[in-house]
């Protein structure tokens, strides 16, 4: 790892080295990482420096400490952390798990806009699919999703349709891609003919548009998701007020 850096940033080097190990699947989701002693020896740092690096990874929900068992690589599960990345709730505050159905799936080429968001070349091959999300028995949200074929080799419509868990859990289990963060931008849109049909609203009805880029380790973009939400009875709750974990 070299000599200590000026300004107490040595732990950042350790953190980056651990992220590199996670990126190469040395430690997979749900697995325990080596002991602090072994890792400190591996990276040539003190236990205190190592713990500082681990503390940041825990704070970022990349690692999880389990008392008496060790530190584990976080994995996406349908539990109390679900709402970290799913932030649409009924206006009375009630939160529920959506029922998700696959509307369409196809292969295509990335537009300049999508390519820039995914960090790939324009016209690179991508998978595009549309999900319909129902809350309390009514369709509330339509997700248009694009992922790079290079990072999701062999993705099929059948695999998406038959996945047994959340989408990000599926990414992790099937492709070893762990979504650890997102960036979202909100704007007002109006229902197109397709959205009008899927959401059962008149055409040109105002909708909330959520443009999301999902990131894996080292801020690697792995998914672009453009969602349209019928806000007649639902609203978006920002990350500071939401719970934890993805759809």
The pTM for the full model equals 0.77
pLDDT of amino acid 165: 81
Tens digit of each residue's pLDDT (9 = 90 or more) over 202-240: 999 999 999 999 999 888 999 999 999 999 999 999 875
Query: Which fold would CATH assign to domain 10-73?
Result: Arc Repressor Mutant, subunit A (1.10.10)
- Residue 241, pLDDT > 50, answer no
In the chain, CATH 3.40.1410.10 sits at: 82-236
Dig out the tokens for 40 from the structure: 């400190």
CATH architecture type of domain 82-236: 3-Layer(aba) Sandwich (3.40)
With residue 22 as reference, give the H or E element that holds it. helix 10-23
Of the pLDDT bands very low, low, confident and very high (cuts 50, 70, 90), residue 191 is very high
| pLDDT, position 20 | 85
pLDDT above 70: residue 247: no
Residues of the chain with CATH 1.10.10.10: 10-73
φ, ψ (nearest 5 deg) of residue 91:
-65, -15
Q: What is the pLDDT of residues 83-126, one digit of tens each?
A: 678 899 999 988 888 999 999 999 999 999 999 999 999 999 99
Q: CA-to-CA distance for 15 and 63, rounded, in angstroms?
A: 11
**C-alpha to C-alpha distance for 101 and 192, rounded to whole angstroms:** 20
DSSP state of 149: T
> How far apart are alpha carbons 139 and 100 in whole angstroms?
9
Write phi, then psi, for 206 (nearest 5 degrees).
Answer: -60, 135
Kindly list the strands in the beta sheet with 138-148, ordered across the sheet, starting from the edge strand earlier in the chain: 99-109, 125-135, 138-148, 220-229, 206-216, 181-190
- Distance CA(111)–CA(125), nearest Å, equals 10
pLDDT in tens, 63-90: 888 888 899 888 765 544 556 788 999 9
């Amino acid at each position: 790892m070299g000599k200590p850096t000026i300004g107490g940033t040595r732990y950042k080097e350790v953190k980056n080295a651990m992220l590199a190990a996670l990126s190469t699947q040395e430690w997979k989701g749900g697995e325990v990482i080596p002991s602090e002693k072994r890792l400190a020896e591996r990276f040539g740092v003190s236990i205190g420096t190592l713990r500082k690096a681990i503390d940041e990874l825990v704070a970022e929900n990349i690692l999880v400490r389990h008392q008496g068992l060790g530190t584990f690589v976080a994995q996406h599960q349908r539990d109390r952390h679900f709402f970290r990345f799913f932030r649409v709730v009924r206006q009375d505050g009630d939160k529920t798990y959506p029922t998700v159905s696959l509307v369409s799936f196809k292969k295509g080429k990335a537009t300049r806009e999508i390519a820039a968001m995914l960090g790939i070349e324009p016209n690179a091959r991508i998978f595009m699919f549309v999900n319909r999300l129902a809350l309390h028995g009514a369709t509330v949200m339509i997700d248009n999703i694009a992922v790079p074929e290079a990072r999701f080799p062999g993705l099929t419509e059948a695999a998406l349709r038959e996945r047994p868990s959340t989408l990000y859990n599926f990414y992790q289990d099937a492709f070893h891609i762990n979504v650890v963060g997102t960036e979202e931008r909100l704007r007002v849109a109006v229902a197109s003919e397709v959205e009008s049909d899927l959401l059962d609203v008149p055409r040109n009805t105002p909708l909330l548009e959520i443009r999301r880029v999902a990131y894996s380790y080292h801020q690697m973009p792995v998914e672009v998701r453009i969602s349209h939400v019928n806000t007649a009875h639902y609203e978006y709750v920002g990350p500071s007020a939401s719970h934890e974990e993805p759809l």
